[in-house]
Structures are given as structure tokens and as C-alpha cells.
């Protein structure tokens, strides 16, 4: 059975979409662990769903955060690490060890509006400020850059004239909840040699 771990920093709505897809049988995998880099509802959400949750406070662990995560995912035999609203930067050693086994979801059409400082509402504010006609979300492999890894899947959404950053964020989030499980499913099928 394909095994995943999900890393979170916030409420975990993308995590919930993965949990729901695993429970319905649409995703043929198990969630071995959910790891938060701070106290957050995402970890609570995992525990309520019967998934093992961990909190590794990044302010306490600092440079040892990735070592703590690596220990858990290695012990649990994880095949894929999913960053779902995880705000800590993963160090180079960890990325290299888990090359092509870490994915991230980002709320823009990368490479646009990615990189340092581009996360959460800031992305949508930048899209609105630049009067873009479309935005969306991207799932990509994590490399040693920020939001620079190979793109797995993207979904576009329109940007309307009277959109605020908050309205756009909600529209994009609906698509994130679809895109993340679809991307995991694609990776699982590829791992089994099914296209």
C-alpha cells in the first residue's frame, strides 16, 4: 500500500480533502502521519480522523525540524510527503534525501507569484494588484528553490473585475481541494506503472 505523510501549518482544509478521498477509496493510499510545525487545527483534524498527528515546533527545533520530520517519515515507510499549507522551509539535505518524493500545493499558476514571501493571501493580493485575468493553483515537486520544482498539475480560475483577494482566495481554494488529491492519485498510478 502506498503511504503518504502530510505536513501542515494551519487549518488543514487541503489535508481534509486528502482524508476524504482516502476514506472514500478514491485515493489508494494510507496517511501514515500528519506533522505540524506549530500547534494548528490541521493536526487536530488528523487526530479526529484517526490519523497519527505530530507537532514539531519550528521555534523550538529550528534547524533540527527537518531531522525530526525525517525520523517520523522514515520510520513509517512513507512513499510521498505532501506539503499542504506548510510554511516552514525544508532544508536542502532533506529535499535531496526525498528527491521527487515531496510535493507542494501553491495558490497561483506557477511560475507566476511564487518564491520567497509569496504565500497565502499575499499571492492573491499580488494577482489582484496586477489586474490578472486568471489565477489558479499548482501542485509541484519540491526542489531546493522556493516554488521552483517541476509542475505536476495546474488548474486555472478566472479573476473577475470586482474580486477582492479574499474572494479570489476562496475560489482558488475550491480548486486546491480537487487538485491535491488528483495529483496524489497521478503519482500513485505512476508508481504502479499505470498511466
Q: What are the catalytic residues?
A: 106
Catalogue the E-assigned strands of the chain.
2-8, 29-36, 53-55, 80-83, 102-106, 134-141, 151-158
**Cβ atoms of residues 95 and 134 within 8 Å:** no
Strand (E) or helix (H) holding 129: helix 121-129
Closest CA to 42 of 1, 95, 82: 82
Please state, in angstroms and rounded to a whole number, the distance separating the CA atoms of residues 194 and 13: 29
Count of CB atoms situated within 10 Å of the CB of 152: 19
Please state, in angstroms and rounded to a whole number, the distance separating the CA atoms of residues 56 and 68: 7
Amino acid at each position: 500500500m502506498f503511504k503518504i505523510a502530510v505536513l501542515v501549518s494551519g487549518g488543514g482544509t487541503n489535508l481534509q480533502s486528502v482524508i476524504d478521498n482516502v476514506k472514500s477509496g478514491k485515493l489508494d493510499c494510507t496517511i501514515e502521519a500528519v506533522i505540524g510545525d506549530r500547534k494548528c487545527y490541521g493536526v487536530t483534524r488528523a487526530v479526529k480522523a484517526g490519523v497519527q498527528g505530530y507537532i514539531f515546533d519550528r521555534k523550538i527545533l529550528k534547524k533540527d525540524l527537518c531531522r525530526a520530520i525525517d525520523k517520523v517519515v522514515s520510520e513509517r515507510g512513507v512513499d510521498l510527503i505532501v506539503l499542504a499549507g506548510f510554511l516552514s522551509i525544508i532544508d536542502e539535505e532533506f529535499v535531496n534525501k526525498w528527491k521527487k518524493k515531496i510535493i507542494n500545493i501553491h495558490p497561483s499558476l506557477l511560475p507566476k507569484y511564487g518564491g520567497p514571501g509569496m504565500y497565502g493571501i499575499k499571492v492573491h493580493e499580488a494577482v489582484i494588484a496586477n489586474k490578472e485575468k486568471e489565477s489558479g493553483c499548482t501542485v509541484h515537486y519540491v526542489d531546493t528553490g522556493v516554488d521552483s520544482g517541476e509542475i505536476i498539475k495546474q488548474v486555472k480560475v478566472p479573476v473577475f473585475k470586482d474580486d477582492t483577494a479574499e474572494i479570489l482566495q476562496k475560489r482558488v481554494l475550491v480548486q486546491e481541494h480537487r487538485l491535491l488529491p488528483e495529483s496524489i492519485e497521478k503519482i500513485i498510478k505512476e508508481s504502479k506503472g499505470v498511466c
